[in-house]
């Protein structure tokens, strides 16, 4: 029981009074892919947290939309939606990300943000990476996986709580946001 992976789920399940609960859930196969029951942490993978706020309403709203779109993709993966649906949701997330980056970059330029070039380079690097992922998925070379979602979540958290927080004083000082 103490082997690490999944042991917490077994322990909690063995404590339940009901002999037939969600704990009996086994991996299922849909559309040729294996799906394992999700933990509570996985279900909340793209939950917005107040600590992500940059205290600029328009940008926080866009960041929240990015999390909502990623959560939709995550839910679709978890429910075994078709590759066509996953591709459409991923594309929606990428397209919205482009719009968000353009808005954010416009605000940084308006504030003469001194680290604009480096910030924009981070945006461009992410877009290149997700375009690669889209192409690989579309060509059948890779499956849409939780690795993609973890990459996106980690990038969002790191970027919002690090790089984005750095421009906030400049945008507020110039009253561009």
Mean pLDDT across the chain, nearest whole number?
80
User: Quick one: pLDDT at residue 138?
Assistant: 84
Report domain extents, the chain: 1-37, 39-173
39-173: which CATH topology? 1.20.120
Distances in Å between the Cα of 96 and the Cα atoms of 61, 91, 140, 166, 176 are: 12, 8, 24, 22, 21
The pLDDT tens digits for 89-110 are 999 999 999 999 999 999 999 9
Mean pLDDT over 10-19 rounds to 36
- pLDDT score recorded for residue 177: 66
Give the mean pLDDT of 121-150.
88
H helices then E strands: how many in the chain? Answer: 7, 2
3-state class of 113 per DSSP? Answer: coil
Range of weakest confidence among 18-32, 56-70, 124-138, 145-159: 18-32
Lookup: tokens for 67: 């999390």
So what's the pLDDT on residue 91?
94
Query: What H or E segment, with its residue span, contains residue 34?
Result: strand 33-35
The sign of the torsion formed by the CA atoms of 126, 130, 133, 139 equals negative
**Per-residue model confidence as pLDDT tens digits over 102-134:** 999 999 999 999 999 999 999 999 999 999 999
Spatial separation of the C-alpha atoms in residues 60 and 146, rounded to whole Å:
25
For 137, residues 6+ apart whose C-beta sits below 8 A from its C-beta are 83, 86, 87, 90, 143, 144
């Amino acid at each position: 029981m103490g082997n690490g992976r999944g042991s917490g789920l077994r322990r909690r399940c063995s404590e339940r009074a009901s002999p037939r609960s969600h704990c009996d859930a086994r991996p299922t196969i849909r559309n040729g892919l294996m799906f394992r029951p999700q933990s509570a942490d996985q279900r909340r993978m793209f939950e917005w947290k107040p600590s992500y706020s940059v205290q600029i309403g328009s940008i926080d709203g866009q960041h929240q939309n990015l999390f909502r779109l990623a959560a939709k993709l995550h839910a679709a993966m978890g429910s075994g939606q078709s590759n066509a649906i996953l591709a459409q949701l991923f594309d929606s997330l990428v397209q919205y990300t482009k719009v968000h980056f353009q808005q954010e970059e416009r605000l940084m330029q308006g504030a003469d943000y001194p680290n604009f070039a480096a910030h924009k380079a981070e945006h461009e690097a992410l877009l290149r990476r997700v375009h690669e992922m889209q192409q690989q998925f579309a060509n059948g070379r890779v499956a849409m996986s939780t690795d993609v979602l973890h990459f996106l979540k980690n990038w969002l958290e790191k970027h919002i709580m690090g790089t984005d927080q750095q421009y906030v004083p400049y945008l507020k000082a110039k009253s561009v946001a």
